[in-house]
Structure 1
Amino acid sequence: MKETEGQALKQHALGIVARLNEAGFEAYFVGGCVRDELLGRPVKDYDIATSARPEQVEALFQRTVPTGLQHGTVTVVVHRQPFEVTTFRKEGDYSDYRRPHSVEYIDSLHEDLQRRDFTMNAMAMDLNGRLIDPFGGQADLERGILRCVGSAQERFSEDALRMLRCIRFAAEYGLKPESGTWLALLGAAPLLRHIAMERIRAELERMLTGSDPSGAMLLLKDCRLLAHTKEKLCWARLDEIDSVGELDLRKLTRLEDRLAYLYLKLGAGQGDYDTDMRKLTFAKKQIEEVGRIVEANAWLMHELAAYTVRDAGEPSHEARELWVEAALRYGIDGLQTLRTIYKLDRNIRHAAGTDTVTHPIFTEWIRHGEAWLAEMPVARLRDLAVTGQEVLEALQGKAGPWTGKLLQALLRQAALGSLPNRKEALIQAARELYGEMQEKGIR
């Protein structure tokens, strides 16, 4: 967020607090905005806690949205910016390890802060910038400690999702879970089976797009938390990976690229990653993008293994043909990501069972793969200077299974540069290929 936008956001939030104070109510900034301001990090949103009841908040502001009245939350909209304003509350028993069975409005800020998850999120700040920190959140941040408010065992048993939030916060803010908090997490890990898979997916996405995704994965490996989800996941095998913390996942810019790398390290095949991501409710497009990378690696490793048992020619020539073929099958973007993964982690080979330490083909992919992709004249059938209909008309043939095979053969030759991407040259090559196919009985 730009500095001017951040300043405007804060001014709008201060205006809400001031309006509540003028009306005779207590009001404070709470939670993440206080934490991030103390750390000098950009504040993305301001949450406000108040002694005013929801109907009183609605009466004070011109535009409000009843986004969470069952929990005492009203969203106040100022200059199109939403601000959550929540009445001081305490919570009843948690019946499903996720949400409280009941909520009771109260007049005590201290009691409201007491129900929160971690000390760094249980701080408040008033209109004048005075910090209210009854549980030592600021001191914990200064010591680099992540600690639950009160009994860690109770906090995790109230809401089992807090265990994943513990991992995410620790990695995001470079904190070490306090020993009692960590031991309580290990003991409460089986409670994760009560959490919906889409909530687990949301936390994983935040970890992988956060400031230290590798650190988050290392913590998940150490606590084996994902072995306790309600549906079995490939992620449960994180503890089998030796080098999770060694690779800087930030060098892979997209979430889908980071997911693909992890699935490769987990040895996930086509059925594995697809089933896994569906269980976690990832979007279809995300599954497809991860799949192109995982499947491209599987195909290339299969071809690499076959290469070792035959007398091939010049490694560079053979490597380029395989690389271009993979790009045609799985897309240029997928191959670009795969080359980055290979550069970062040559040990990715173990996932496919193919040794590539000194393999000349694998070395060529890393060395020249980017240039080979950039040099490809065509990458898809629509890039060809001739259409399927034009080929049919030139050959005076009837469409059949042979048509797609012939067009793919033309695409491959044009992509490798052995056939000019010109209509006349493509038609002539199509005639020759068609004759060969007829001799082989391909219709």
Structure 2
Amino acid sequence: MAEKLEDGALKVIRRLTDRGFEAYMVGGCVRDKWLGRKVKDYDIATSARPEQVQSIFERTIPTGLQHGTVTVLIDRVPYEVTTFRKEGDYEGFRRPSEVEYIDNLHEDLQRRDFTMNAMALDQDGRLIDPFGGQEDLRLKRLRCVGQAEERFREDALRMLRCLRFAAEYGLEPETATWSALLLLKPLLGHIAMERVQAELLKMLAGANPNLAVDLLCSSGVLQHTKKKLSLASIADGKPWPNLDRLPDELHRLAFLYIRIGATAEQADADMRHLACSKQQTEKVRLMVTAHERLRNEAGNNKVMDDMSMDQRKRLWLLAAIRYGRGTLRNVHKLYSQEEHLSPSQRVWVAEGERWLDEMPVSEVSELAVTGQELMRLFAPAKPGPWLGRLLAALLEETALGELSNETEALLKAAEAHYEQIREIERQ
């Protein structure tokens, strides 16, 4: 698949050069090829204008004509082809006010962020590296093209990209680049929060999330986002265990919130500020909420830490009923990374997964009785909150192993609960 991807890029380049234009692989694909890493996509820079690119290839998509970019499809694989360009003054510390097409590769590479991203390859595999990106990679050094302050003033998002690249590739920002980042980090207040989110989650999903977190701590960049984040106090969570033991970036993010002592409401607010999806927000919020409930009911109470094994099991299973068995499995993964645990947490790490596996049911839908059957049993009672409370009571007793998940046993237990629930509603 990798060879096929590169072959497609070479087809694009050869087609352009056969028509008399210059064309090169540029940017991240060149960097990753030099490092021997998997190349996910190939970007191509050319002297051909967008309309000329469109006329040369049969299948194109005008994905970014305002920036000189045309997507060319080769065997259904997309390749972004961008005309050599230079950029005018930047607006809002993020985007150029205008783009001017040029015929000079060197000048096109000069506008890029870091030297390792300012290299190009021709169709014969010759490297064009006017700013020393190859040497910087060899020395494990991350360096801006030209003056670091200029690059960061042009586009403040480059400061977050600096941290991400440093963590992902195991690089050390050189002195001028790091000094410029520390000086100009207040400019991150101009960057849209969804862009901050994208960089943050990529850092946590990357090759070295611990280094990413260390860089976020030492730089203090999260204290300067457009909207205030509780995660900005991330340095309070040090030292960190190996975050790459957790399965993905959302588990790692939830762990950060738990470690810095953020509440579920604070985590939820951050996720909303960062324009995370509903699914992402819910997953993180549930993990933090379940931890918060368990901590409040057991972990912070020294008397409660003398509770019996059955009491700890009950708390764990009740949390699984309330937040979902999957959420508690996630919380178990988080607790498993910690060295300093409360007595209850140690028990949950040791026994929690087995208890979840042994749960007869964890959701109302798994009960051997339905709401309709309960309605028929208590006819002519009308539907109301009582029905949800009754199903919840049956679920709890069944999940805890106090009641058999059989229709007859559930209906009998329902009769015992019904009058008590209705009496509470009448009060």
Aligned length: 426
Give, in whole Å, the separation in 2 of the partners of 1:409 and 1:329.
12
Aligned counterpart for 2:391 among listed residues 388, 394, 407: 407
Partner residue, 1:380: 363
Give, in whole Å, the separation in 1 of the partners of 2:379 and 2:398.
23
In terms of mean alpha carbon deviation, does 318-327 or 61-70 score higher? 61-70
Equivalent runs, 1:288-299 vs 2, <5 Å: 288-299=282-293
Does the 8 Å contact 1:12/1:78 carry over to 2? Answer: yes
Give, in whole Å, the separation in 1 of the partners of 2:305 and 2:11.
76
2:263 pairs with 1:279: no
Give, in whole Å, the separation in 2 of the partners of 1:65 and 1:439.
66
Give, in whole Å, the separation in 1 of the partners of 2:393 and 2:301.
21
Partner residue, 2:346: 363
Taking structure 1 as reference, are residues 424 and 240 closer, same or farther at Cα in structure 2, changes over 3 Å only? same
Match for 2:355: what amino acid?
W
Equivalent runs, 1:347-358 vs 2, <5 Å: 347=340, 356-357=341-342
Give, in whole Å, the separation in 1 of the partners of 2:299 and 2:83.
64
Q: Deviations over 1:308-339 (max 9, x none)?
A: 446976x2111111100000000011101111
Partner residue, 2:167: 171
Taking structure 1 as reference, are residues 127 and 441 closer, same or farther at Cα in structure 2, changes over 3 Å only? closer
Alpha-carbon distance, 1:95 to partner: 2.2
In terms of mean alpha carbon deviation, does 327-336 or 92-101 score higher? 92-101
Partner residue, 1:419: 403
Partner residue, 1:240: 236
2:9 pairs with 1:13: yes
Match for 1:258: what amino acid?
R
Does the 8 Å contact 2:299/2:345 carry over to 1? Answer: no
Does the 8 Å contact 1:319/1:362 carry over to 2? Answer: no
Alpha-carbon distance, 1:280 to partner: 0.7
Taking structure 1 as reference, are residues 436 and 101 closer, same or farther at Cα in structure 2, changes over 3 Å only? closer
Q: Deviations over 1:89-116 (max 9, x none)?
A: 1111112111111111111111111111
Taking structure 1 as reference, are residues 177 and 68 closer, same or farther at Cα in structure 2, changes over 3 Å only? same
Match for 1:76: what amino acid?
V
Give, in whole Å, the separation in 1 of the partners of 2:66 and 2:423.
75
Taking structure 1 as reference, are residues 9 and 220 closer, same or farther at Cα in structure 2, changes over 3 Å only? same
Taking structure 1 as reference, are residues 397 and 215 closer, same or farther at Cα in structure 2, changes over 3 Å only? farther
Does the 8 Å contact 1:33/1:46 carry over to 2? Answer: yes
2:185 pairs with 1:202: no
Give, in whole Å, the separation in 2 of the partners of 1:227 and 1:400.
48
Match for 1:292: what amino acid?
L
Percentage identity across paired residues of the two chains: 54
Alpha-carbon distance, 1:440 to partner: 6.1
Give, in whole Å, the separation in 1 of the partners of 2:402 and 2:110.
71
Give, in whole Å, the separation in 2 of the partners of 1:95 and 1:307.
54
Give, in whole Å, the separation in 2 of the partners of 1:131 and 1:406.
71
Partner residue, 2:327: 334
Alpha-carbon distance, 1:210 to partner: 1.2
> Normalising by the residue count of structure 2, what TM-score does the alignment of the two structures yield?
0.96
Match for 2:330: what amino acid?
T
Give, in whole Å, the separation in 2 of the partners of 1:44 and 1:441.
60
Aligned counterpart for 1:322 among listed residues 315, 326, 336: 315
Q: Deviations over 1:402-422 (max 9, x none)?
A: 332222111111111121100
Alpha-carbon distance, 1:385 to partner: 0.2
DSSP 3-state at the match of 1:386 = coil
2:91 pairs with 1:98: no
DSSP 3-state at the match of 1:117 = coil
Taking structure 1 as reference, are residues 439 and 200 closer, same or farther at Cα in structure 2, changes over 3 Å only? closer
Match for 1:161: what amino acid?
L
Partner residue, 1:72: 68
Equivalent runs, 1:44-123 vs 2, <5 Å: 44-123=40-119
In terms of mean alpha carbon deviation, does 213-222 or 116-125 score higher? 213-222
Does the 8 Å contact 1:312/1:318 carry over to 2? Answer: no
DSSP 3-state at the match of 2:29 = helix
Alpha-carbon distance, 1:239 to partner: 2.3
Partner residue, 2:252: 258
Give, in whole Å, the separation in 1 of the partners of 2:304 and 2:241.
34
Q: Any gaps of 5 or more consecutive residues in structure 2?
A: none
Q: Any gaps of 5 or more consecutive residues in structure 1?
A: 348-355
Calculate the aligned-residue CA RMSD, in Å.
1.8
Give, in whole Å, the separation in 2 of the partners of 1:311 and 1:135.
61
Does the 8 Å contact 2:389/2:421 carry over to 1? Answer: no
Q: Deviations over 1:126-179 (max 9, x none)?
A: 110000111110111011111001100100001000000000000111111111
Give, in whole Å, the separation in 1 of the partners of 2:403 and 2:48.
75
Taking structure 1 as reference, are residues 266 and 255 closer, same or farther at Cα in structure 2, changes over 3 Å only? same
Taking structure 1 as reference, are residues 404 and 157 closer, same or farther at Cα in structure 2, changes over 3 Å only? same
Alpha-carbon distance, 1:433 to partner: 2.1
In terms of mean alpha carbon deviation, does 390-399 or 26-35 score higher? 390-399
Does the 8 Å contact 2:60/2:73 carry over to 1? Answer: yes
Match for 1:416: what amino acid?
L
